[in-house]
Amino acid sequence: MMTAGPSMPSQAWTMSAMKTSSPIPPLIRFLSSMSSLKDFFSMTRQKEAQNSHVYWWRYCIRLENLDSDVVQLRERHWRIFSLSGTLETVRGRGVVGREPVLSKEQPAFQYSSHVSLQASSGHMWGTFRFERPDGSHFDVRIPPFSLESNKDEKTPPSGLHW
């Protein structure tokens, strides 16, 4: 995995399912880390007509199955709030084109993706929907985490950093 600058802050939560058809929901651990892509590589673009910026962040997610039950990630649902006042909803199958199976043999899956806002800060939260072998589903709630830019808006992009 490529990194740039200081290590990214990370947060970890151990969560049980919100709605299940079984009495004891499996435990899924969600780990996230975040960095401003403005620091990672040059993705800030000046919109000529509006003279505004687009801010990009990279986030890394690690999902761990802490239970002995096999589960498969089926869907994601993100809510992305920008301090400019916009609220975006992103839904889709799996993550980054995959629907990973979390089992005793392979209990964890990690991926990274990115998000953009037209403001220098905002928040992101959502749910992951998992499926059990019997076809029942449960949702794992992802608590809000901050999207914060640590550079002045007027600072030009610093170029590629690998």
Q: What is the mean pLDDT of residues 133-152?
A: 88
- pTM, to two decimals: 0.68
Please tell me which residue, 103 or 151, carries the higher pLDDT value: 103
Place of tokens 């399912």: 17
* Residue-level pLDDT at 80: 98
d(CA 156, CA 162): 18
Q: What is the dihedral of CA 120, 144, 9, 67, to 10 degrees?
A: -150
What fold does the segment set 28-39+53-147 form as a domain? Immunoglobulin-like (2.60.40)
135 — phi, psi (to 5°)? 95, -10
Domain ranges of the chain: 28-39+53-147
User: CB of 156 within 8 A of CB of 123?
Assistant: no
d(CA 60, CA 114): 9
